[in-house]
Chain A
């Protein structure tokens, strides 16, 4: 082969950058923009707002639940013709997304022989970095009710 064998590095690099999220290729965007104004995460609570140990009950950690919720919400929003769901998602779409994620969580808990409450709420926690510390705000995204 006359080509320099570094071509495979270049091809993999181009595929990682060009294909985006196409396993096993990826742009690896974790922590790519530290200057984002806020950092947010999602917690799942019972109807009274008490946080539930989701990793133990379902095997799904807080980051996984957030990614799942975001993906489902974006899909539902795209189907409804909304492009930027992160900045202004109609409440009914957020509610639908939450219900879908909750159903997945109930399923996973059942597989692990664990019990989740019939009513789950999702709270979005936004974290702000300030000059000497941090500030948190919490907003309820919605409630999901188990259908029997």
Chain B
């Protein structure tokens, strides 16, 4: 049974073809540019966070800078895409400014005294890919052969991206575990007040919109059905905690990727909280539709 779930080679990187790699890269470039699309409303760092403690990124919010910033990301993205055929150096030259640009843009946003978690994952996926490029370049300089543990650049770009996704979800699960001494699922019915809080916050963000006035129907339902509430929230908690399984194989990645996307849609329904970038990254690097379409075509042809 265990052998069927985790066949030989489980948790090792997969070999990735050029077409699949191109789609993965296209997905990441699109998500990165989309993530930085709006001009930052901030042109100062009220409470520097992360690298902002040493580097002043406030220039990114100054008038006239943003179009140039987007142009730089587009250029870097193009070089990174060409790296699919041109190899590691081109990929590195492309992914380095993408990573620095994305981290700088969101460090500025997170240096205002209120942390936003919607874009951390994109930065970490880019950082993982940057690390993969640096190690690959070092291996090429030593003429080290590819192996099952390091099947070349394209396989490692995918594997390290999945590692970043898994690390973020497991970190979130562990934080829940630590903060509640393991009682998170048992206490999860008490979330009703958080659901109601978000509802009220939406109302006060625009008191003329009556859609969020009064009591959230979801919050009221959760109060009235505490046991069902635990059954609703429990799977999400375990999904986060066991997200590392998406590194086990392509099938695991597909199943967990779809589950993660569904979990965020569920959260969006009851809490009106969107995590679009996290969903998009899961769609690209865990669900990875181009691979499954190619695999199906191959199996049909044979």
Contact = CB atoms under 8 A, between A and B. Distances in A.
A62 B201 contact: yes
A5 B148 CA distance: 10
A13 B177 CA distance: 14
Interface string A1-15: 111111011101100
Interface of A: 1-6, 8-10, 12-13, 16-17, 21-36, 38-41, 43, 51-56, 59, 61-68, 71-72, 75, 104, 108, 111-112, 125, 127-134, 136
B239 interface: no
Contacts of A22: 49-50
A61 B3 CA distance: 50
5 contacts: A5-B12, A17-B171, A26-B120, A33-B184, A62-B205
A134 B223 contact: yes
A43 B135 CA distance: 50
Contact of A34 (B168, B172, B194): B194
B285 interface: no
Contact of B192 (A66, A129, A136): A129
A134 B175 contact: no
A112 to B, nearest CB: 8
A141 B259 CA distance: 42
Given A26-B120, A32-B184, A33-B184, 4 more contacts: A12-B164, A32-B178, A34-B184, A127-B196
Interface string B205-238: 1111000000100011001100000000000000
Interface string B167-205: 110111011101110011001111111101100110011
B174 A17 contact: yes
A63 B50 CA distance: 21
Given A63-B201, A67-B115, A5 B13 contact: yes
Q: Which 6 A-B pairs have the closest CB atoms?
A: A67-B114, A24-B123, A23-B50, A12-B167, A16-B171, A28-B172
Contact of B11 (A6, A34, A68): A6
- Interface SS, B side: helix
A67 B11 CA distance: 39
A34 B188 contact: yes
A31 B191 contact: yes
A42 to B, nearest CB: 9
A5 B167 contact: no
Interface string B120-132: 1101100110010
B253 interface: no
B257 to A, nearest CB: 16
A62 B149 contact: no
B156 interface: yes
A33 B200 contact: no
Given A9-B163, A75-B47, A24 B120 contact: yes
Contacts of B149: 1-5
A41 B201 contact: yes
Contact of A6 (B41, B50, B219, B247): B247
B114 A71 contact: yes
Given A6-B163, A13-B167, A35-B180, A28 B51 contact: no
A40 B187 CA distance: 18
B128 A133 contact: no
Interface stretch (B67-75, B105-113, B291-299): B105-113
A53 B223 contact: no
B150 interface: yes
Given A33-B179, A129-B193, A129-B223, A28 B117 contact: yes
B46 A104 contact: yes
Contacts of B192: 129, 134
B252 interface: no
B260 interface: no
Contact of B115 (A3, A26, A130): A26
A16 B200 contact: no
B251 interface: no
Contact of B106 (A24, A43, A54): A24
Contacts of B205: 53-56, 61-62
